[in-house]
Amino acid sequence: MSMIITAIVVLLGLALIFGAVLGFAAVRFKVDGDPIVDQINNLLPQTQCGQCGHPGCRPYAEGIANGEPINKCPPGGESTIQALADLLDVEALPLDAEHGEEKPRMVAYIREAECIGCTKCIQACPVDAILGAAKQMHTVIVDECTGCDLCVEPCPVDCIDMLPLPTTPQNWKWDFPLPSSALIATDANRGAA
């Protein structure tokens, strides 16, 4: 009997000691990390386009933190889904086609001859990438435009086009070589180019 009591006492004592140590460590060595919503938001492409169904990237980040699927962002594309999957330790799903498909980067272009200066697009742009004032001509600042598409709808004279960024020798890049099994027979002798 006394053995049992001794055992219980010893185990209790050990439990208390280790619990205290763990508790102390949890407080003393606490790492103040970024709140997860901020970390998720930093991975999103910040186009504020709304294609994910949320009115902006931060609301979607909050949604993801609450368990929404991570594959709803077309401008971010596969690389964003991968990054989110790495961050949150979930599986990287393919992009949900319901929300759009991954397209190359576009920028808005206003056909200035047709612009009537109504400022509707300026109010719609989430990053203030359109320069203009009432009854003055509007124009898009290409460097700031994220290609979110939100300005095209409000324009009453439909003078906004979405154009892909041109390829110049400065931003041209080599493709990754194809793996051998993907080479078609006629390409087989031309080297992996």
Partner 1 sequence: MTAASPIRIWDIPGGIHPQENKLQSLGHGIETPPLPRELIVPLQQHIGARAEPCVAVGDKVLKGQLIAEASGFVSCPLHAPTSGTVTAIGPAPYPHASGLEEWAIRIEADGEDRWCELDPISDFRALEPAALLDIIRASGISGLGGAGFPTAVKLKARPEQKIHTLIVNGTECEPYITADDSAMRYRAEQIVSGIEVLMHILRPEQVLIGIEDNKPEAIEAMRAAVGERPMQVVVFPTKYPSGGEKQLIQILTGKEVPSGGLPADLGMVCQNVGTLLAIHDAVVLGQPLIKRITTLTGDALSHPTNVEALIGTPIRELLTFAGLQPEKLYRLVMGGPMMGFTLQSMDAPIVKTTNCLLAGSKAELPPPPPAQPCIRCGLCAEACPASLLPQQLHFFALGKDYDQLKRQNLFDCIECGACSYVCPSSIPLVQYYRAAKSEIRALDLQQHKADHSRQRFEHRQERLQREAEQKERDRIARAEKAARLKAAKEAEAAKQADSDAAVPAADAPAPKAGGLTPEQKQLKIAAATAQMALKKAQKQLTANPDNADLQAQIPQLEQAAREAQEAFDKAQGEVSNQPAAPAPQAAGEDDAKKLKIEAAMLRAALKKAERAAGDNPSDQQQAEIAKLREQAEAAEARVPATAAAKKPVDETLKQAKLDLAMARAATRKTERALAESPDDADLQAQLATQQQALSAAEKALHEAENSSPIPPPERQRVDKKPVDEQLRELKTNLATTKADFKRAERELKDATEAGGDTAAAERELATRRAALDVAAKAFADYMASKETN
Partner 2 sequence: MALVRMTSPHAKGSNHTQTIMLWVLGATLPGIAVLTWFYGFGTLINILYASAVALLVESLILAIRKRPIGFYLRDGSALVTAWLLALALPPYAPWWLTLIAVSFAIVFGKQLYGGLGQNPFNPAMLGYVVVLISFPVEMTSWPAWRGIEAVVPDVHATLGLLDGVSRIFLPVSGEIDGWTLATALDVVKTNNSLTMTELQATSPAFGQFAGYGWEWVNLAYLLGGLVLLYKRIYSWHAPVGMLAALAVMSLLFWNGSGSDSNGSPLFHLFSGATMLGAFFIITDPVSGATSKQGRLIFGAGVGILVYVIRAWGGYPDAVAFAVLLMNLAAPTIDYYSTPRTYGHSKAKRGMGKTD
Binding site for partner 1 (CB under 8 A): 41-42, 44-48, 56-57, 79, 126-129, 144, 146, 167-169, 172-177, 179-180, 183, 188-193
* Contact of 102 with 77, CB cutoff 8 Å: yes
Q: Which two tokens stand for residue 132?
A: 């203009």
Residue 133 Cβ, how far from partner 1 at the closest point, in Å? Answer: 15
Beta strand ranges found along 79-125 (DSSP E) = 106-110
Return the one option of partner 2, partner 1, none that residue 79 interacts with (CB less than 5 to 8 A, by type).
partner 1
C-alpha closest to that of 126 among 58, 43, 37: 58
By C-beta, is 29 or 172 nearer to partner 1? 172
Residues contacting 106, CB < 8 A, separation 6+? 147, 149, 162, 163, 164, 165
Which residue, 23 or 177, is less far from partner 1 as judged by CB? 177
- Which part of the chain contacts partner 2 (CB under 8 A), choosing from 11-19, 21-29, 101-109, 174-182? 174-182
Asked if 131 and 138 touch (Cβ cutoff 8 Å), the reply is yes
Binding mask 79-118 for partner 2 (x = CB under 8 A): -------xx-------------------------------
CB 96 within 8 A of CB 69: yes
Summarize the annotated binding site as residue ranges.
49, 52, 57, 73, 115, 118, 121, 125, 145, 148, 151, 155
